[in-house]
Amino acid sequence: MALPNTYWLFNNTVNDGANTGNATGGAGGSSSNWVVIDLTNDTIMFLDDQQTDGDARTGSKYPVIIPDAGSLEAPKTFVDDLSAVIFDQVPLAGTTAGEQSGGATRYVFAIYFDGATAGIPTLEAWNDDTHAANNDDFLGGATPADSTLLAIATTNAAPGSATWAGTPLSGTDSRIELDTAALAAAKNLYFNIKQVIPSTFTPQSDSNIVLTLRFLYS
């Protein structure tokens, strides 16, 4: 149970199939296609529906518009892919409340472990990579339940609803377990994620939020 290597991937197709390529991704089940996220250079982004799959990352970027009333699920999800120089869409992310192909979709983001763990891996969100604070306005300020990032583990099953609510992500106060037990061997863990912005949200310009995988080894 040595330190496992972990790889983050996303499915850039509308085909809901598993990552069979493990660490390297590529063609997966049901004609899905998995792309490895370069954690040093790539960024997961929630953008407006004016953004188009394959747009040059050096071109226009369309942020989510805060709604007049109620709340709005970010219409589209992308990975800002530095090496491909594009915004690569993650079409299955989110729910049917978005403007892409989200819903009760299971194989959206994957984290591949190449070995066992001593505990159940969790997915969290923090202000930054120091993991010291989770009070960014995007993470609910002082109220983790108000985080704008909501995720659901799909390792063992698809969400039960096409409009799944998800769990707000904010530090260790509110996070999701990516499986039901510690990993006994190499495995892909899956999750779906969305961003929901309320009309009361104050625009942010200086956030440096990270998604964080926390796990145990021995």
Q: Which residues bind to another protein, rule: CB under 8 A?
A: 1-3, 5-6, 8, 37, 39-40, 43-44, 116-120, 122, 126, 128-129, 131, 172, 177, 181-182, 184, 208, 210-218
Distance between alpha carbon 166 and the CA centroid of its chain, in Å? 12
- Closest separation between CB of residue 1 and another protein, Å? 3
Residue (31 or 208) nearer to another protein, CB: 208
- Closest separation between CB of residue 83 and another protein, Å? 15
- Closest separation between CB of residue 181 and another protein, Å? 7
- Closest separation between CB of residue 43 and another protein, Å? 7
In sequence order, what E strands does 71-121 have?
71-73, 76-81, 86-89, 109-113
Q: Which H/E stretch holds residue 198?
A: strand 187-198
- Amino acid identity, position 106: R
Residue (44 or 197) nearer to another protein, CB: 44
- Closest separation between CB of residue 80 and another protein, Å? 11
Residue (44 or 152) nearer to another protein, CB: 44
Inter-CA distances, 43 with 17, 29, 57, 80, 126, Å: 23, 25, 11, 5, 15
- Amino acid identity, position 41: N
Residue (99 or 177) nearer to another protein, CB: 177
Residue (27 or 184) nearer to another protein, CB: 184
Task: Give the Cα-Cα-Cα angle 147, 149, 155 (nearest 5 degrees).
Answer: 130
Question: What is the Cα–Cα distance from 15 to 215, expressed in whole angstroms?
Answer: 29
